[in-house]
Every structure is written in structure tokens, then in C-alpha cells.
Amino acid sequence: DVVDLDEMRQRPGWLTVVVGAAGTPAVDDALRDAGGAVPSEDLSAEGYALASKAQASGGLVAIGGADPDGIYYGAQTLRQLVTDKAISAVSITDYPLMRLRGSIEGFYGSPWSHQERLDQLAFYGDIKANTYIYAPKDDPYHRDQWRDPYPDQLYTQLGELVQQAVDHHVRFTFAVSPGVSICYSDPADRDALFAKLQAMYDLGVRSFSIALDDISYEEWNCPADQETYGDPSGGAAGQAQVDLLNAVQREFLDQRDGVNPLQFVPTEYDNVDETPYKQTIREQLDERVEVMWTGTDVVPPSISVDEAAEAADVWGRPVFIWDNYPVNDFWWTTGRLLMAPYAEREAGLHTQVSGIVLNPMNQASASKVALFGGADFGWNDVAYDPYRTWNVAADYLAGGDAATTEALLAFFDLQHRAPMFSGEAWQPPAPELDRRLTEFRATWDAGDHQKALDKLRPYAELLASAPKVITDGVADPLFHDDVGPWMESLTLWGGALVSALDGLQARVDGDDEEAEQHFGEASELIEAAGEVETIPGETRTEGVIQMGDGVLDTFLAEAPELGL
């Protein structure tokens, strides 16, 4: 039936929501009536205008999108505006600054489960991330057995993921990594690659990536490549890869409807040095192919606008950033969840790159903290505030509960340390706890022992109680599966901190025997925490859970020695 919007909007007590394409008369009229701005015809892709206003008849909300994605994102913003059965009165015109925003499941170790992937794709819709790249290194059909078709069950699951992505306005990109064994000059291998891509196209995939990372070009995989391209070298590898990639773009993708340009992970993905390999790629690779780049290191401490501009020059096109944070599949991340905010990426990167995807942890749900920040940065890097978004991510996981949010942020702080591939930390350990302990030491050394204890104790008790608060307050069961060992460890470390403060309090009160008892309890808890390990098989590197190491353990070691 045809709905008379004017008639509906006169019904007392009704909230009228008008949703549609910007430029449609009914939508534009509703935007004006709600006090909003009508977007111009050149509103960026995925952009939208939203306005809401209280009226005598009950209220009006209007959403006008530049395209279906924009309408969807406008609805996500409206969801955020609804609090306690009330809607904020606003006028918003919004659009993303980066074209591609999201994640690449590109880590080593246990791939995400099907349920985790479904959950992630729904989450990306919530946070306005539009890209998911399927590239798990330890999926044998992605890399080691790339020629083999997916078994029926896995193929069916991939189809479900493609549909889930469509439902949440996420581009599902299928990546294949043939470099470990491909013979570039063998038509049979090219046909096998095309067959693999065709099977995904038949599922509805319209975005593809060829990953040629983490391979060597010091030897060929077949004698035919030696005959075709000569002795192994960076330049020869570049030529072989260009021939393959141009064939995929021109002979496969260009022959099919609705397909996005090819994406490509180069073998030299982590620097801006001029090399024969890069020169060949720059001069001969089809200009439409998007090149992925991790920054000036495998795990860079920062990414600047100037560095991205250098990368664009050396590759001959704006790069697509594969950001290796919060991935935890290398040695220095053993026992860690990387839950610091997404940071040290410079405002203005949108002027030099086509987008950013974060390579997350094996722990999918725990990765949401960083992914939340990456999506926010990709949408508007100019206005991005890492710690503001960090707080919002905690609130999201907590379902808006203030106590759970506080407990989560205290836990995140103890997992704040982020190491580079060299082991050097580019985000420091436990900065909030470190700040509080620094303040404690200064007050204690000044002789005001009771004030020092009274100031620190509430935070110590917060840490000790955080696991129960988080367990009770976070509704996501996948998050609890991810953080289980860390909650066990935090219970012990938090208890040790409280016991250490009890020991110091007893010392202040003049009871040395009780003090030693509490310090003994703290020591026993620390010893028990040293036996809590990661879930077997979950991550590439396994070992003892780390908890604010370098800060919490240092203080607990020195606490029994503090004199009056």
C-alpha cells in the first residue's frame, strides 16, 4: 500500500522515521522538516544525512543516504542515538574519508571459527567497517593446498559468510596465496588459480586478492620459471608476479560482471626502498590493481602521511595499508592480548591511501577493541581520538554498563603493551597502572604512607574484582572464550596486589608479623599466576599469560622492601 507520510506524521504520539535515498523528494522534505541539511548531489559514497526533531505529533527522524550503504550507516548512527527510550535531536551529514576500512584475517595460527567470522561480520556493520579479507595463513586451502577446491562443508560455510557480509554491508574479499608453490609460467597453474577464484565468484564473491607475501624469490618453484625468467632475483620475481597478476585482472576479473579491482600483497611489503622488484611492479602492473603495504616495518611503531606518500611513489599508486596490529602470532606477543587503543597512525592518511585493514589476533572477539579504533580512524582519521574510541569500545562490549566498562578498561590497561617485530614496545605496558604506582611511590617516599595506601587501594580492588565484573557484565560468550586464561591470571595478580597493600598497611600499623603473612600470600598468588598459560592450539606462540609485566610485577617485587 502507498503510505501517506504527511498523514502519518500527524498521528499523536507517533515517531515517524523516513528512510531512503537522498534526493528523493519525500526524504529531502523530511530532512528539512526535522531541521537537517539536505545533502548535495555529490555526497560521498556511503555518506548519509540524518536529522531528528521532537514534534507535537511525536517526533520525526529522517535518514537520506547517498547509496544503500549510506542508508545502512545512517541507521547505525540512529541506533547509537537512542538512549533510555529517547532520541537525541541532531542534524548530521557524515561520510567516510577512506574507501576501505576493516580487517584482514591474515595471521598464522588457529584460524577463526565459522561462528567467530559470522559474529565479526555483524560487528563490522555496527562500526561502519566495510571490508573483510579472508586470508588465514593456516587455512591449507588458502596457502599450502591452494590448488585444491574447498571441501563441501567449508565451501558451504564460505557461502554463508558471503551472505552475512552482504547483509551487513561488508565487502567479502577472498584471498589466495599461491606463492609457496606456484609455477608462474605453467598454464596449468594459472588455470588452477582461475578455477579457485571462479568457485568463489560462484558463491557471490566480487572482490579478490592475490597474496604473495612471506615467500622467497631466491629460488623458483619449477624449472620452467628458470627458463622463462632467468636466474632468481627480485626483478625476475617482480616480472613473474606482474605477468600473473595482470592475467588475473585482465583475463579473469575483466571478463566477469560486478567485480572490484584486484588486490595484491607484494613480497616486499614492509618498506619504501627502491628495488628492482618494486620498479617492475610500478612500471608494469595494471594500474587498477591495489597494492597492500604494512608500513615501514612488519609491525610499524607508527605510520605517517609522508611515509604513505613515499609508498605511493615507489608503488606507482596509493597503497592499501595492511596494519599488523593487534596481531599476536609472533614471538614477542606470547601470552599477550594486544588491547591498547589503535594509535600512532597520523591524521591525514586518507589523502595518500585507499584504505586500512587491521590484521587481528587469533582471539577474534578480543580483537574488537582495536578493530573498533581502526574502523573509526578509517571513517574520519582527521578527528580520531584513540582513547575516546577506546572508551567507546569498552562501553560497546559492556552493553553500556558503567561498572563493566570501568573493569574492562582496567583489564585493557594491563594488556596495553604492544611489541614490534623486534620485541621493542611501541605502546607501553599498563600506562594507567604505571601512573598510579608512580604517584604511590612519590607519596610514600615523601613520608605520607597512609595517603599513598588509601589512594592506590581502590584501583587494586578494581583489578582484583574485574574478572567477576567482566564475566557477569559482558554478554558476548565469544569474548569470554577468548579471555578465559587472562581472567584467571588477573584474578591472581589483582589479589596479589591487594595482599601486598595489606602487607604495607600492616607494616604502617606496626604489625610486622601480619605484614609478612600478607606478603607471603602475595608471593603464592604470583607463583600461581606463573602457571596460567594460553589455550593450547589457539595461538601460534604459546606460553605463560602476561599481565602488566614490567609494571605490576616490578611493584610487587619491591613492595616487601619498602621501608617506613
Q: Is residue 104 domain-shared with residue 68, that is, in the same domain?
A: no
- Using DSSP, state whether 332 is helix, strand or coil: helix
CB 522 within 8 A of CB 503: yes
**Has residue 411 been placed in a domain?**
no
For the stretch 294-311, pLDDT in tens is 999 999 999 999 999 999
Long-range contacts of 428-435 (CB under 8 A, 24+ apart): 429/548, 429/549, 429/550, 429/551, 430/548, 430/550, 430/551, 430/552, 433/459, 433/463, 433/548, 433/551, 433/552, 434/551
Residue 27 lies in a domain: yes
Packed helices 187-203 and 152-167: angle between N→C axes, nearest 10 degrees: 50
Q: Which residues pair with 63 in a beta bridge?
A: 19, 50
| Domain endpoint, select from 42, 68, 94 | 94
Each residue of 463-500: pLDDT tens digit?
999 999 999 999 999 999 999 999 999 999 999 999 99
Q: Give tens-digit pLDDT for 498-539.
A: 999 999 999 999 999 999 999 999 999 999 999 999 999 999
Residue 42 has a pLDDT of 84
Residue ending a domain, choose from 397, 420, 441: 397
Over the stretch 371-380, which tens digit does the pLDDT of each residue have? 999 999 999 9
Q: How does pLDDT run across 164-217, given as a tens digit for each residue? A: 999 999 999 999 999 999 999 999 999 999 999 999 999 999 999 999 999 999
Q: Is the same domain home to 467 and 491?
A: yes
Catalytic residue selected from 214, 481, 511, 549 = 214
CATH number at residue 14: 3.30.379.10
Question: Over 60: is that where the pLDDT of 142 sits?
Answer: yes
What's the CA gap between 49 and 549, in Å, rounded? 46
Residue 214 a catalytic site member: yes
Q: Which domain holds residue 521?
A: 428-561
- Which comes out higher in pLDDT, residue 464 or 89? 464
pLDDT tens digit sequence for 145-158: 999 999 999 999 99
Last residue of a domain, one of 397, 417, 443: 397
Bridge partners (DSSP) of residue 181 are none
Percent of the chain with pLDDT over 90: 92
Confidence of residue 564 (pLDDT cuts 50, 70, 90): confident
Q: Which of 12-26, 111-125, 212-226 has the lowest mean pLDDT?
A: 12-26
The answer on 336 and 249 residing in a single domain is: yes
Cα–Cα distance measured from residue 308 to residue 301, given in angstroms and rounded to the nearest whole number: 14
Residue written as cell 606462540? 541
**For the segment 422-476, what is each residue's pLDDT rounded down to a tens digit?**
999 999 999 999 999 999 999 999 999 999 999 999 999 999 999 999 999 999 9
